[in-house]
Amino acid sequence: MATTGKSAAVSHVGKIRSNNQDSGYAGQYLFVVADGMGGHAGGDVASAIAVKRITETDRLYTSANDAEFALQAALLAANSLLAETVFEHGELTGMGTTVSAILRVGDHVALAHIGDSRVYLYRDGELKQITSDHTFVQRLVDSGRITPEEAAVHPRRSVLMRVLGDVDASPEIDTTVLETKPGDRWLLCSDGLSSYVSEDKLLNTLSTVPAAQAAADRLVKESLDQGAPDNVTVVLVDIDDSDDSSTTPPLTVGSAASPLVFEADSVRRPLRLPSLLLHPLKATQTDDSHFEPESDEYLNALIAEDRRRALRRRIWWLVFIAIAVAAITAAVILGYQYTQRQYFVGVSDGRVAIFQGVQQDIGPISLSHVYKQTTIDLDDLPLYQRDTVTATINADSLADAQRIVDQLSDDRQP
Ligand code: CA
C-alpha cells in the first residue's frame, strides 16, 4: 500500500467572510481543526494560538492513553494561553475557539474535542460522526426536545455551549481513544463544511476520491458551491498499514499559517463574555461578565426563548391562515352574489324558463336555478329558436330576460 499523500489540510475564507478565523494542521501524528470566534480579529488569533500550542504534541507516544492525556493537557494549556492573551490584550476579550484533534498512535487514535467542529470516520463504505457538537441545539436533540432534522435548520444552531477561551478556567473537553485500521479515512472539519454540505455528499466524496489532497479539495469546493457563508477547513488523513505516521510534510493552514497580529482596533468595542458563545456574525453584546457557559440557568433561558419564538411563529401562522380563510370566504361570497345578479333564458321541463345565475357549474355545484317558469312549450317555437333557447340566451337583466320571453311568446307558432 502506498505511503505517500496520506493526509491533506485545506482552509478557505469562504465567499462571505473577510477573514479566515479557522486554523488547521495536518502533521506527522497529529491532525487538528480549530474554528475561532469573537469579533473582527479575535477569532483568527484564538484558533491560531490554540493550534500552534497543540501542534507541540505532534510526536510519537508510547501508548494511546499517553497521547490522550497529552492532547487534553495541550487543549487546557491553550485555554490558559487564550486567557493570558486576553489579559494582555483587552481588545480580544470574548475570543474563543473550537478544537477537534486526533493524535495517532499505531492502530489507535487519541481524540480531544470541544465546540462544534467535527471528526468523522469513513470506514468500510460508511461515514460516522465521531464527535458530538457542544451546541445549544445538540443539547435540545439529546434531551429529546427537537429532532436532528429540526436542529439542522434551527435559528440558534451555531450557539456554542463550550469552547476554549477566556471564560472558563477548566473547560470540559471530550477525550477518547479509538481503534483505527488500514483503509480508515479520518475527516476533521469546521462547521463551514458540515453545516452546508450534507453527510451524503461527504460520504460520496470520501468514497469516490482516493487521494487525500484531491478529496479535501473537493470537499472545500462543495462548500463553496453551496455559497460558503463561513470559513471552511478540512483536514483529512488516510490510515494505511505500512507506517504509523503520515509521510506528508506537516502543513498548517488558515489563520495559524500567518504570524499572529495583536493590533488593537481603536474603534472596535470590546466584546463582552456571552458573545463568546455565539459565532461572530451573531455576536451580541451584553454586560454580563459572570457568565457560565454550562449553567442550567442560561440553558433554561435559551430554551424559554426558543419556546417563545416557536409560539410567536405559530401565532403568526394562525393569523396568516385566518386572514387567508377570510379572504377566500369573502371572494366566494362576492363571486356567488355576482352570479345571482345574472339572468338567462333556457329550457326547464320542456318549457321556456328564466334562470337566475350563470350557466357554468363548479364541479357538482350549480350556479343557477329556475327563477320563473313560463307556459311557453319549447315545441311551439320555430325550429331555429328551439336550438337557440336550448343553448340558453344571456340576458343583461331580469327585465331583459322578460323581454326575451315576451318575444318568444309572440313568435310561438299557432
Ligand atoms: Ca465556523
Query: What pLDDT tens digit does each residue of the chain (414 aa) get?
Result: 333 348 999 999 999 888 899 999 999 999 999 999 886 668 889 999 999 999 999 999 999 999 999 999 999 999 999 999 999 988 888 899 999 999 999 999 999 999 999 999 999 999 999 999 998 888 888 888 888 888 888 877 778 888 999 888 889 999 999 999 999 999 999 999 999 999 999 999 999 999 999 999 999 999 999 998 899 999 999 998 765 566 678 999 999 998 876 654 444 444 444 444 444 433 333 322 223 355 667 777 777 877 888 889 899 999 999 999 999 999 999 988 888 889 999 999 999 999 999 888 888 888 889 999 999 998 998 888 889 999 999 998 999 999 999 999 988 876
Amino acid 3: pLDDT: 33
Kindly give the distance from the C-alpha atom of residue 35 to the centroid of ligand 1, in angstroms, as a whole number.
5
Give dist(CA 294, CA 162) in Å, integer: 7
CB contact at 8 A, 356 and 342: yes
Kindly give the distance from the C-alpha atom of residue 45 to the centroid of ligand 1, in angstroms, as a whole number.
14
Kindly give the distance from the C-alpha atom of residue 371 to the centroid of ligand 1, in angstroms, as a whole number.
73
Kindly give the distance from the C-alpha atom of residue 202 to the centroid of ligand 1, in angstroms, as a whole number.
17
Kindly give the distance from the C-alpha atom of residue 115 to the centroid of ligand 1, in angstroms, as a whole number.
10
Other CB atoms closer than 10 Å to residue 217's CB: what's the count? 18
Give dist(CA 337, CA 367) in Å, integer: 10
Kindly give the distance from the C-alpha atom of residue 87 to the centroid of ligand 1, in angstroms, as a whole number.
25
Q: From 24, 383, 56, 60, select the one nearest 246 (Cα to Cα).
A: 60
The single-letter code of the amino acid at 282 is K
Amino acid 249: pLDDT: 84
Kindly give the distance from the C-alpha atom of residue 109 to the centroid of ligand 1, in angstroms, as a whole number.
25
Helix (H, G, I), strand (E, B) or coil at 337: helix
Kindly give the distance from the C-alpha atom of residue 204 to the centroid of ligand 1, in angstroms, as a whole number.
23
| pTM tops 0.75 | no
Kindly give the distance from the C-alpha atom of residue 341 to the centroid of ligand 1, in angstroms, as a whole number.
65
Amino acid 238: pLDDT: 95
Kindly give the distance from the C-alpha atom of residue 159 to the centroid of ligand 1, in angstroms, as a whole number.
11
Residue with cell 461578565: 289
Kindly give the distance from the C-alpha atom of residue 291 to the centroid of ligand 1, in angstroms, as a whole number.
22
Kindly give the distance from the C-alpha atom of residue 153 to the centroid of ligand 1, in angstroms, as a whole number.
16
Where would I find the H helices in 340-379?
none
The partner residues of 100 in beta bridges, in order of sequence, read: 33, 113
Kindly give the distance from the C-alpha atom of residue 280 to the centroid of ligand 1, in angstroms, as a whole number.
9
Kindly give the distance from the C-alpha atom of residue 6 to the centroid of ligand 1, in angstroms, as a whole number.
25
Give dist(CA 155, CA 159) in Å, integer: 9
Kindly give the distance from the C-alpha atom of residue 231 to the centroid of ligand 1, in angstroms, as a whole number.
6
Kindly give the distance from the C-alpha atom of residue 255 to the centroid of ligand 1, in angstroms, as a whole number.
13
Kindly give the distance from the C-alpha atom of residue 150 to the centroid of ligand 1, in angstroms, as a whole number.
20
Kindly give the distance from the C-alpha atom of residue 134 to the centroid of ligand 1, in angstroms, as a whole number.
13
Kindly give the distance from the C-alpha atom of residue 158 to the centroid of ligand 1, in angstroms, as a whole number.
8
Instruction: Copy the grid coordinates of residue 34.
Output: 480549530
DSSP string over 195-236: TTS-HHHHHHHHHH--SHHHHHHHHHHHHHHTT--S-EEEEE
Amino acid 41: pLDDT: 67
Domains and CATH numbers, the chain: 2-261+269-294 (3.60.40.10), 343-410 (no CATH)
Amino acid 244: pLDDT: 53
Amino acid 139: pLDDT: 84
Kindly give the distance from the C-alpha atom of residue 401 to the centroid of ligand 1, in angstroms, as a whole number.
75
Give dist(CA 143, CA 231) in Å, integer: 30
Alpha-carbon distance values, 336 to 76, 330, 341, 358, 400 (Å): 75, 10, 9, 10, 21
Kindly give the distance from the C-alpha atom of residue 282 to the centroid of ligand 1, in angstroms, as a whole number.
11
Kindly give the distance from the C-alpha atom of residue 397 to the centroid of ligand 1, in angstroms, as a whole number.
71
